[in-house]
Amino acid sequence: GGRPGPAGGRGGAPPLFSVGCAGLVEEAVRREDGRYDIVVRGTHRFRIVEEAPRAGDRLYRIARVEPLDEPFDEAREGIPLQGLRADAIDLLSQLLRLAAPDGARPLDPRRFSGIEDVTFVDVLCQLLELAPAEKQGLLEADGVLARCERLVALLQFRVAELGGGVPGPSRTLH
């Protein structure tokens, strides 16, 4: 996506972030005003190597990209990731209670038991309503473990915001 800020670059096109995410359009609904609500499922990250010059009146942009591999070392990163996953579920439960104190039921961790850790992190990053800068930060995180750490930090901040407190030095809020 384009970086926030004033338009610049070739032909008024805003500069692009160097890391992006390829995706599949899962749903597109046209509004009455002609705009679309689009649901995209991210599939894999890439780095932009070079953007092709815009030719003629072409409205879209073309770039040469390279896929970003995300090796996951189960032996070294598996246990820390499981801990972060538990933290994320706990923080989501807290957010639900804070957002709807009368109607929120506790979030049952067993609902996520069939989802392996890497998929859990990536799906959660896509589903949560986060600011574009926060989503870009997650996208640029180097590896699944770093992405989950950043996600937990964002959730801690949101819980602190809604709860009126400030997260402590602990990784987990109790």
22-64 pLDDT tens trace:
888 989 999 999 999 888 888 888 999 999 988 888 888 899 9
Is pLDDT above 90 for 109?
no
What percentage of the chain carries pLDDT values higher than 70? 84
pTM: 0.71
Average pLDDT on 97-123 reads: 79
Percent of the chain with pLDDT over 90: 34
Per residue, the 3-state secondary structure of the chain, as one string, reads CECCCCCCCHHHCCCECCEEEEEEEEEEEECCCCCEEEEEEEEEEEEEEEECCCCCCCCCCCEEEEECCCCCCHHHHHHHHHHHHHHHHHHHHHHHHHHCCCCCCCCCHHHHCCCCHHHHHHHHHHHCCCCHHHHHHHHHCCCHHHHHHHHHHHHHHHHHHHHCCCCCCCCCCC
Instruction: Give the mean pLDDT of 67-78.
Output: 87
Q: What is the mean pLDDT of the chain?
A: 83
Average pLDDT over residues 84-107: 82
